[in-house]
Structure 1
Amino acid sequence: MAGGITETGELYSPYVGLVYMFNLIVGTGALTMPKAFATAGWLVSLVLLLFLGFMSYMTTTFVMEAMAAANAQLRWKRMESHKEEDDDDSSSASDNDVLIQENYDRSEKQPILSRDMDLLIFLKSQTVWRWDRWPLCSSIKAVFTLLLGPFTFFDVQKTKYLQILTSLMRWIAFAIMIILALIRIGHGQGEGHPPIADFSGIRNLFGVCVYSFMCQHSLPSLITPISSKKHITQLVLLDYVLILAFYSLLSFTAIFCFHSDSLLDMYTLNFTGCDIVRLVVIRFFLGLFPVFTISTNFPIIAVTLRNNWKTLFHREGEMYPWVVDRVVFPIITLVPPILVAFCTHDLESLVGITGAYAGNGIQYVIPAFLVYCSRKDTKLVFGYGTVNKHQSPFRSSFWVGFVLVWAFSCFLFVTANIILSETKL
């Protein structure tokens, strides 16, 4: 269907889409994870990381299933409309079954969701990095705004080469940090002696881990342009396995290389002022690493929010004026995160609160309700027995309830810990 291409822009392969997802998930949250691991204990941190990774994968499949169901209903309505125009004769039940199944078969090659059906109206809050010198920090943020801000006025597909470039820089930086930490540990210079468990650090660890797996808010912009979605669920699972392995390797090398008291909120800063790195260029490169991570996340998230703004205020049959569509919506999308970046400097609290509260809703509550409502609506529209090709492996209603109970429990746990912390102060 040619319309699929014109609605979503340039399509890309499943592997390119998974690179986009990897870039979106592995952002600044990964750099705050080592300190959270050190304060909560290595065993508790590993168990919680594995569990939250599993929960994030589950809700990601929930969102993809809901997107597929929504797109199937859109195509079904279009087919019914064309059929009424071309043929007044009513179709038989068997013909309907064939048409319904074709809806899901066609979704193997066509975009799952058109742009006017964005599912989430949430923005993953942009974290900011902390520097000791305010003028340098302000200058970097200003340059970042000038270079990355314009991407808000375009589509996510236009960031392909930016994604490739920053992915290369990202892997180089991560490889440098992991290798340097392993060398120091191998030479017997490792200073870290992390505890097995310290439950006082779980609250912050929870917020950091939830934040570090958050991608559900941008799935419509990421999944829609993928050209073939036949094995998308399995490929997303592979992505999560790689991310879990990477997070574990980065965090464990960090907590055994540096003493827990010396680990900074932003892990890269541990390498900019220590004797491990002797070359100034490498120190400078690692110091700017947060810029690379946010550079790939920001355009995708900004485009998602901009499209959600358009959907929120859209009225059926009406078109936005060019100025509103191409100027106003991108500006109201760009301004809030820039203001937060210039006004906030407490990275640990920002990531913790974002992950614990906003992340709880984005990653657990919204996907659970989306898939529950989509399954119920699909049965009403298509009838029982219809097979959704992109149905989540967690198709039992038990998993939906489990996610909601977990989300509510996390909310109570984090809130209670914050109240207790404030009381102690």
Structure 2
Amino acid sequence: MAGDITEAGELYSPFVGLVYMFNLIVGTGALTMPKAFAHAGWSVSLILIIFLAFMSYVTTTFVVEAMAAANAQLRWKRWEKEEDDNESESSDNEVVPSDGYQRSEIQPILSVQSRGLSDPFEIVERVEMGQMASMFFNKVGVNLFYLCIIIYLYGDLAIYATAVPLSLVQVTCFSENGSCGTQTGERNDTDSCWGPIRRIDAYRIYLSVFTMFLGPFTFFNVQKTKYLQILTSLMRWIAFSTMIVIALVRIAAGEGAGDPPIAQFSGIRNLFGVCVYSFMCQHSLPSLITPVSKKKHLTGLVLLDYILVLAFYSLLCFTAIFCFSSGALMDMYTLNFSGCSPYVPTVVGYFLGLFPVFTISTNFPIIAVTLCNNWKTLFHREGGTYPWIVDRIVFPLITLVPPVIVAFCTNHLEILVSVTGAYAGNGIQYVIPAFLALCSRKDSALVYGPELSNKYLSPFRQVGWVWFVLCWALACFIFVTANFILTDINI
């Protein structure tokens, strides 16, 4: 995330890339979608989720286009350096333009074709979004980019820090007679958990333990392993498939209690933020797309991925809202199938109840280290280094403390996901890709001339699409903010 450039690494087939991208998109946000779906109404929810999936696909093609343009610029600069070195050896007295843009005005295409690479826009090097921002944005734009990424990662950490103790409370809290706690979506945090200890107290105890165990990893450079990724992906598929099957069985047996409204305007705000968060993948596209071995039909594969994700989300949400009443759906859907559910086998119930604990706990240190690195990049000075106490203590502390405080103050997961998606997610999914597409097109035209086009150019190549995305992002920001204000003053 901090903007490193690396080789593509081990290549994999387009099918494997499609699976990886599907796994990236379908994450924690999907667990909060059913409740938001039920509160907004099934027809409004379906229309909105289809449109947001389409908008996310549009901006994904913008990021892929910018990745190709970034590869082309890096390739041009490398050629420039090689040519300057060769010419300096042959003639010390000859004056050679040092700036790539100046040279492009003199010889934009002939030199490209003579260098032995038929297409300079081929994506062979991984250029993260931070590096693309540095290449195509000015200093203000780069700082705003990192600020947006940092806010989003803070939201991620707050969501993770809330989801784990919330799941543990639901699984382990029992009433005075030893039976399971409430199965309604409206939690009463003052209910007893263990004798005199209330549910909210148990939540904060679990949050403290979670912070003590996983917080120290923020002070070290933790890396995700391949096998850990495989394990979490496998658990995710088992969990989601189990919930869908159980809900379908209940509906088929006539035990479904859901009667969702067709439309409910007051629920759109949360649904919007949750859906934006649930379709988020733009920030990780360079790591996913670059290693794909054959990129000829890349745009079509990405479209297929979005269609599959949309179908999966629709199946998950519709089975949920017709299986459970809107009042019974919990902030995190897995909690409806926890060990307290009478219609779920005990072992399955505890697996589903604890599923977020295992998967989120493995991701929390990774996100924390990523956020810490972005802070360091934002304040980095050329040629300067940080004192040890700033590098190893101050940055990790400003990374860890704020999301933990937020998690202590609220355990309403749906609201955290909604706010993160509606604001920071809005910037990452819409604003940044739109400006990357706009600026990278100008850069490529300046360096290579209009005759050599980017073969990964987005299908939405007209500049009107870029402005449409930006207008949509602004409209969403205004709508969500106005809705929050009106809700707070009970209008």
Same fold (TM over 0.5): yes
Q: 1:404 to 1:118 in 2, by over 3 A?
A: closer
Alpha carbons of 1:164 and 1:47: their partners in 2 closer, same or farther (altered >3 Å)?
A: same
- The match for 1:72 is 72
Counterpart of 1:159?
225
Distance 1:18 1:327 in 2: 39
**Greater helix proportion:** 1
2:206 to 139, 148, 152: 139
> Matched residues in 1 for 2:300 and 2:392: separation?
37
3-state SS of paired residue (1:111) = strand
TM-score by length of 1: 0.85
Note the alpha carbon deviations across 1:32-58, whole angstroms, 9 max, x for none.
111111111111111100100110111
> What is residue 238 of structure 1 aligned with on the other side?
304
Contact 1:17-1:223 within 8 A present in 2 as well: yes
Judged with a 3 Å threshold, the aligned counterparts in structure 2 of structure 1 residues 415 and 139 are, in CA distance, closer, same or farther, namely: closer
Q: Give the residue type in structure 2 aligned to 1:46.
A: L
Displacement of 1:276: 1.5
Residue in structure 2 matching 1:185, options 228, 234, 251: 251
* Cross-structure match for 1:60: 60
Maintained 8 Å contact 1:218/1:301: no
Is there any run of 5+ residues in structure 2 with no aligned partner, and where?
91-95, 97-105, 135-144, 171-198
For the residues of structure 2 that align with 1:41 and 1:161, how far apart are their CA atoms?
Answer: 40
For 1:392 and 1:374, the matched residues in 2 are separated by 12
Question: Which residue does the alignment assign to 1:33?
Answer: 33
> Match for 1:7: what amino acid?
T
Deviations 1:85-105 (A, max 9, x none): 113688966532416893844
Paired residues of 1:7 and 1:114 also in contact (CA < 8 A): no
- State the AA in 2 paired with 1:87: E
Please list, as runs of the form range in 1=range in 2, the aligned pairs for 1:251-330 lying within 5 A after superposition: 251-272=317-338, 273-279=340-346, 281-295=347-361, 297-298=363-364, 301-302=367-368, 304-316=370-382
Who is 2:316 aligned against?
Answer: 250
Deviations 1:104-159 (A, max 9, x none): 44734433459855665204322122335443664377458746974884476x43
Map of 1:195 onto structure 2:
261
Q: CA deviation at 1:398?
A: 1.2
SS at 2:32's partner residue?
A: helix
1:63 CA drift (Å): 1.7
- Counterpart of 1:392 in structure 2 is 458
The one-letter amino acid of 1:70's match is A
Compared with structure 1, are the counterparts of its residues 9 and 398 closer, same or farther at alpha carbon in structure 2 (3 Å cutoff)? Answer: closer
The 1-side partners of 2:113 and 2:452 are apart by 10
Q: Hey, what's the Cα distance between the residues in 2 that align with 1:24 and 1:300?
A: 14
Shift of the 329–61 alpha-carbon distance from structure 1 to 2, 3 Å rule, reads: farther
Q: State whether structure 2 residue 427 is matched by structure 1 residue 352.
A: no
Structure 1, unmatched stretches of 5+, are: none
Q: 2:117 aligns with which of 85, 94, 102?
A: 102
Amino acid corresponding to residue 250 of structure 1 in structure 2:
L
Alpha-carbon separation, structure 1, partners of 2:306 and 2:244: 20
TM-aligned CA deviation for residue 253 of structure 1: 0.4
Query: How many aligned positions are there?
Result: 419
Q: Measure how far apart 1:6 and its partner are.
A: 9.0
Change (3 A) 1:8 1:139: farther
What is the rounded CA distance, in whole Å, between the counterparts of 1:28 and 1:376 in structure 2? 37
Secondary structure of 1:67's counterpart equals: helix
Match of 1:21 in 2: 21
Distance 1:38 1:106, change over 3 A: closer
Q: CA deviation at 1:295?
A: 4.6
Distance 1:20 1:142 in 2: 32
% same residue: 62
CA separation in 2, counterparts of 1:232 and 1:304?
Answer: 27
